[in-house]
Amino acid sequence: MRRSLLPSLAIRPASAPSYEGLAAGVQRFASLALVLVLMCTFPLAAAERTVRAVALGDSLTAGLGLPADAAFPVKLERALRDRGFQVEVLNAGVSGDTATRGLARLDWSVPEGTDAVIVELGANDMLMGVDPSVTRKALAEILRRLSQRQIAVLLVGMRAAPNLGPEYGRAFEAIYSDLAAQNNVPLYPFFLEGVAAEATLNQADGLHPTAAGIDVIVARILPMVEGLVMRVREKRQ
């Protein structure tokens, strides 16, 4: 009987793979990948979510004498969207409102989920000769409550009519700059900048802007509102 010239080889079967370990590894990898995706996606999604803003004001905000689609909040929202911002601007303007009346309806005029508020109040206080200390107190409380709710604010100022006298004018106009500084909120000094006393940009009463006047207001205030929206988006990240 002839022997094989080849050495005897002990061939052992390879170890069977551990499917439990393989599955656990795949699961760990998938979990890590999901976490990375969520970390990258969620901040961006939150930042890009629609910013909900409220324009809290009087007839200048409400759009007295204008078609609904020509009111300041509507045109402001349109301008922001044209610039690529996902924003909704709620019209919370009530004709005839003073700062005190605006404060009285603040909670329901600025609903839960609001990200930013444009505060435009005080024109009627001035026209009625309300003591500036009363207007100041109401606006200060509005800012305090919005801050407490962690809502971003743009304060919009108003100027006093010359016929009220220099003393009243100084006391009234100082309200806005003082409160903006004290509460660390941005201030747009005069809502009617570029429109006041311009006959072609005001209605027959000489007080309320035409649709063309609103266009001027929106164009002038737009950079500051864009900054307000950007602050909301940065806060979300």
Token pair belonging to 87: 């924003």
Residue 209 contacts residue 197 (beta carbons within 8 Å)? no
Distance in angstroms (rounded) separating the CA atoms of residues 15 and 3: 31
The residues that are catalytic are: 59, 205, 208
State both tokens at 33.
């990948």
* Alpha carbon separation from 217 to 42, 117, 119 (Å, rounded): 36, 17, 15
Non-local (6+) Cβ contacts of 125 within 8 A are 98, 99, 100, 132, 134, 135, 172
